Amino acid sequence: MSETETTVDKSKERVRAMFGEIAPKYDLLNNLLSVGLAPRWRRKFVAEVFKRVSTTDAREIETLDVATGTGDVVLEERRQWTKREQREPQTPSLKTIGVDFTPQMLELAREKARGVEFIEADGCDLPFEDGRFDAVTISFGLRNMTDPGKGVAEMARVCRPGGVVAILEFSPTKFPIFAPIFRFYFHHILPAIGRRVARDKTDAYRYLPASVDAFDSRDVVLEHMRANGLTNASWRGMTFGVLGIFIGEKR
């Protein structure tokens, strides 16, 4: 754990209260603060996951989205799978489950994605048996965990052999010229907009850049993946390295 990381309060109580506070404006602010790029990021993320999901001899594909928030990744999975079924009639059915430990987020997710099972649970202690899911995903949630290594271990545990574990997460970009511009936006403009639009009393949008700065390096996350039996673990950057996809396959 780095010296910077110790200055960021990532206690479960604080994170749950923070996301509960901003839940009503969460989707609006995601699109606003990502300059409309959030849906594109999700599309690429889910597409990368589904490229690696094998449907050979499968009657049903089951996926789990950890720290699902308001369920946007689950919805994108269902959208892309429906298109796949239309192209390939022999495609097996898809069952998606989302988990989050913030009740207010789950309430919104259930309204948006009717028919999907959403469960209140901690990503570091998933209530599922070993080797159940064909794909386990998390987007912008790993850095909020008190123990990201434990989060990766749990995702790998519930993933079946031959399945996929994928993480979409921000990272401090080092891209020339763009890095200082992004840093100014992330540390000054974003918190101001967040406080004004969400009327955020928990300082969630000041926590966001601090948590990204304190997040484990790419190499550390990849090592967590490899240590938990995930092969071909890799990171692919997007949008000048502002964020990227970690992906690995379960042995």
Q: What is the pLDDT of residue 193?
A: 73
Q: Indicate the residue type of 196.
A: R
User: Among 113, 21, 48, which Cα is nearest to 74's?
Assistant: 113
Instruction: Give the bridge partners for 94, in sequence order.
Output: 61
The dihedral over CA atoms of 225, 229, 235, 236, expressed in degrees to the nearest 10, equals: -130
Q: Which residues contact 32 (CB under 8 A, 6 or more apart)?
A: 193, 197
Q: What is the pLDDT of residue 246?
A: 98
Report residues of the chain scoring pLDDT below 50.
Answer: 1-6
Whole-angstrom distance, CA of residue 43 vs CA of residue 146:
28
Rg from Cα positions in the chain: 17
Q: What is the pLDDT of residue 217?
A: 85
Residue with tokens 């700065």: 213
CB 54 within 8 A of CB 94: no
Whole-angstrom distance, CA of residue 127 vs CA of residue 213:
30
Task: Identify the three-state secondary structure at position 240.
Answer: coil
